[in-house]
């Protein structure tokens, strides 16, 4: 049982490039979500999903895209990277009893 697995752990992008942050969980959780963490601002919700085929926007969705084709995977796509997207990204899933499990994070730098 690996929990929530995020890849890559570190990434440097140039402005305008696109990339996909991967998130996978093996706990059969229906709910998955993506957060970004910036200094002094806590964790802010980007997008979330309550099951395969169902996604919705969170607090800061602009510039990001998601899809959920399987229960296990919830990738986050940056369409055209900007320096303002430099951040640490966490994926999290939740069980039926409010148990949230976080991935180890992806540190993204956009230059």
Which one, of 67, 78, 71, 70, lies nearest residue 21 by Cα?
78
96 binding other proteins? (CB under 8 A):
no
Measured from the CB atom, the residue of 14 and 39 that comes closer to other proteins is 39
Could you tell me which stretch among 17-25, 40-48, 66-74, 78-86 binds other proteins (CB under 8 A)? 40-48
10 binding other proteins? (CB under 8 A):
no
How deeply is 53 buried, as exposed, middle or buried, from its count of CB atoms within 10 A (0-12, 13-18, 19+)? Answer: exposed
Contact 31, 97 (CB under 8 A): no
Record the tokens describing residue 71, joined without a space: 């229960």
CB 15, min distance to other proteins, A: 25
Residues of this chain that interact with other proteins (CB under 8 A) are 31, 33, 35, 40-45, 48, 50, 58-59, 90, 92, 94, 98, 100, 102-105
């Amino acid at each position: 049982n690996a929990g929530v697995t995020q890849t890559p752990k570190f990434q440097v992008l140039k402005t305008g490039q696109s990339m996909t942050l991967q998130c996978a969980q093996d706990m059969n959780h229906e709910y998955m979500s993506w957060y970004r963490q910036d200094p002094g601002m806590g964790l802010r919700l980007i997008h979330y999903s309550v099951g395969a085929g169902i996604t919705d926007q969170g607090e800061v969705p602009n510039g990001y895209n998601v899809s959920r084709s399987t229960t296990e995977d919830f990738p986050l796509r940056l369409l055209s990277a900007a320096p303002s997207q430099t951040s640490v990204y966490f994926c999290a899933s939740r069980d039926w009893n409010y148990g949230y499990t976080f991935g180890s994070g992806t540190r993204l730098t956009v230059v």
